[in-house]
Amino acid sequence: DAGVIQSPRHEVTEMGQEVTLRCKPISGHDYLFWYRQTMMRGLELLIYFNNNVPIDDSGMPEDRFSAKMPNASFSTLKIQPSEPRDSAVYFCASSLGRGRGGYTFGSGTRLTVV
């Protein structure tokens, strides 16, 4: 398996623009997580899905952020409009059966909003 695949690896955008981050989880995994990592706040859970259904989105910072999982092999995290404070590394992770075997993380998307 190729692991969790995220795209793009790097994204530079101007304030106010829409940004879409993409994630392909490991085939067969039924949980998918979106995290944001910054120096100031560390690793923050934004939202997670079970069998494509959002379970907990309490970590989504505000209405500018939205996430979807239209099928078991694809998820998106969208920021509209983007702001400089959204600059961070965004990670997607997937797991099987409540994560008792651990998570598999993607390589992340480094987002810079100028």
Give yes or no for a contact between 26 and 104, defined as CB atoms under 8 angstroms apart: yes
Using the contact rule CB under 8 A, the part of the chain among 15-23, 61-69, 70-78, 93-101 near other proteins is 93-101
Question: For other proteins, which residue of 20, 50, 66, 76 counts as binding (CB under 8 A)?
Answer: 50
- Indicate whether 70 belongs to the interface with other proteins (CB under 8 A): no
Task: Mark 16-45 with x for binding to other proteins (rule: CB under 8 A) and - for no binding.
Answer: ---------------x-x--------xx-x
Handedness of CA 92, 97, 99, 105 (dihedral sign): negative
Kindly tell me which of 31 and 65 has the beta carbon lying closer to other proteins.
31
